[in-house]
Amino acid sequence: MNDLKKRTKEFALMVVRFYITLPKTTEAQVLGKQMLRSGTSVGAHYREADHACSDAEFTSKLEGGLQELGETEYWLELLEEAEIVPSDQVKGIKQEVCELTAILITCINNVKKRKRENGKE
């Protein structure tokens, strides 16, 4: 789990660095700040999950992280489709959104599967 802690922090730093490069236009800054908020909160949700007291709390926090990843992807799509930034500039971040999404979904499904196997669901 330490790898995911590190990876979500690196993702937050990737988002911060990307935000810094955005044009200073109003629309770029408004969309960018939304992306900055959601993108940097993924790691915070993961850290909360890492300290969860129950499986239910753990999955709830990870699901919050999933929501933030979805929101981050949305803001990136708007920045790209509004032609504020070129597609190649968001490609790496969007790829990491997809990979982190898959990882969090796997973590959630593993907990749910374990609960089913133990007859707790």
User: What digits encode the pLDDT tens for the residues 84-113?
Assistant: 999 999 999 999 999 999 999 999 999 999
Provide the 10 A C-beta neighbour count for residue 81: 9
What residue spans define the domains of the chain? 2-117
Q: What is the mean pLDDT of residues 113-117?
A: 85
pTM metric for this prediction: 0.92
Question: Which pLDDT belongs to residue 106?
Answer: 96
Q: What class has domain 2-117?
A: mainly alpha
Closest C-alpha to 59, from 116, 13, 110? 110
Q: What is the mean pLDDT of residues 41-68?
A: 96
Angle at 36 between CA 101 and CA 55, to 5 degrees: 40
Note the pLDDT of residue 98: 98
